[in-house]
Amino acid sequence: MSIEVRNLNKRFGQTVVCDNLNLDIPAGELVALLGPSGSGKTTLLRIIAGLEVPDSGTVLFHGEDATNTDVRDRQVGFVFQHYALFAHMTIFENVAFGLRVRPKATRPPEAQIKAKVMELLKLVQLDWIADRYPHQLSGGQRQRIALARALAVEPKVLLLDEPFGALDAKVRKELRRWLRRLHDEMHVTSVFVTHDQEEAMEVADRIVVMNHGRIEQDGPPDEVYDHPATPFVLQFLGDVNLFHGRYDRAGAGQGEVSYVRPHELQILGQPREGSIAVTLSQALTVGPNTRLEFKRVDDSSYVDVEVPRTEYTALRESIGLQAGATAHLLPRRVTRFDSEVMHDPAAAI
């Protein structure tokens, strides 16, 4: 089921949390709402769910206005960060819950409930713990059960609010991949809230980057990363060096800012046109990569560079790169954002 959000506004007191939002989520897509804390992701998700009422604007499900539809009639499934399973019920009963509480007229017969629950437990690869209780499960297993429980009622839309937020890094990573695979099998339209850019890039078909209640950009992960629409998106989606003025002329052209990602700087032994002179402050190897912190000779500001560990080893040999040594940095790619004036066609004439 597709979701459309039209001119959506929501305030809490003086705080504008949704600032005239417009968003199209095609049926079957997995979309990540990505943004810093307080940017309005959860509020937008809750409005889509029907748990929160907007001040104005509409939410359409499959082209039909659902803004005033009760949460129970929206056919949405939820998974939250701390989705408490019922502690006194077995895993089987937890997953069966949504089906058992249906009115008698629409409740499936017992044999069908059993088959459905076992099918879902197999899907989340936990059919072997059907008889256990929640406290006997790991955090990652509990979230998989929470997802099976949300899917039991065959929702048309699945809403996930930082579902792996409370888990450790390794488990999070496993669950992301697992969620992606699961989504490829099920194709339920899903909206996933996260403040973790890596998680959004890895899981989603499309990323909606939010900031101060506004959508800064909406597009496939590669597009958002490679062609950020605003400085905010560029900086939120990964580390970046900021050069005021042109990167190769410290302080020049005030107002203009150049952005270069740490892996997009080449390290040279000799100056070249457009390169900047630096000295190496420190090198830190993390896994397969080495992070180098350089200090500019002209204005003493810091520039971060990231290279594969093997390249760092080679540079130590070839140009004697070590703490205190001089080197030259040449960007492979520089991003600049036009000033407001340049966006104004009248001003360009």
Residues that bind ligand ATP (CB under 6 A): 12, 15, 17, 35, 37-43, 195
CB of 76 to ligand ATP, least distance (A): 17
Least CB distance to ligand ATP at residue 4 (A): 20
In the bound state with ligand ATP, the residue whose beta carbon lies nearer, of 194 and 275, is 194
Residue 128 C-beta: closest distance to ligand ATP, Å: 34
Which secondary structure element, helix H or strand E, spans residue 346, and what is its range?
helix 345-348
Q: How far is the CB of 210 from ligand ATP (least distance, A)?
A: 7
CB 212 to ligand ATP: min, Å: 9
Toward ligand ATP, which CB reaches closer, 40 or 155? 40
3-state class of 136 per DSSP?
helix
- Is the Cβ of residue 40 or residue 221 nearer to ligand ATP in the bound state? 40
Q: Shortest gap between Cβ of 333 and ligand ATP (angstroms)?
A: 30
Q: What is the C-alpha end-to-end distance of the chain, expressed in Å?
A: 46
Q: What is the token pair recorded at 294? A: 């350089």
How far apart are alpha carbons 179 and 188 in whole angstroms? 12
Q: Which two tokens stand for residue 107?
A: 């409740």
Q: What are phi and psi of 58, to 5 degrees?
A: -130, 155
Q: Which is nearer to ligand ATP, 194 or 290 (CB)?
A: 194
Give the other-Cβ count within 10 Å of 215's Cβ. 22
Q: Which of 187, 180, 111, 116 is nearest to 152 (CA)?
A: 116
- Considering beta carbons, is residue 40 or 262 the nearer one to ligand ATP? 40
Q: Nearer to ligand ATP by C-beta: 8 or 305?
A: 8
Per DSSP, the three-state class of 220 is coil
Cα gap 58→77, rounded to integer Å: 20
Minimal CA–CA distance to 211: which of 195, 227, 223?
195
Helical H segments across 60-196, by residue range: 91-100, 110-123, 139-152, 169-186
Tell me whether residue 230 or residue 289 sits nearer to ligand ATP (CB atom): 230
Residue 259: CB minimum distance to ligand ATP, A? 24
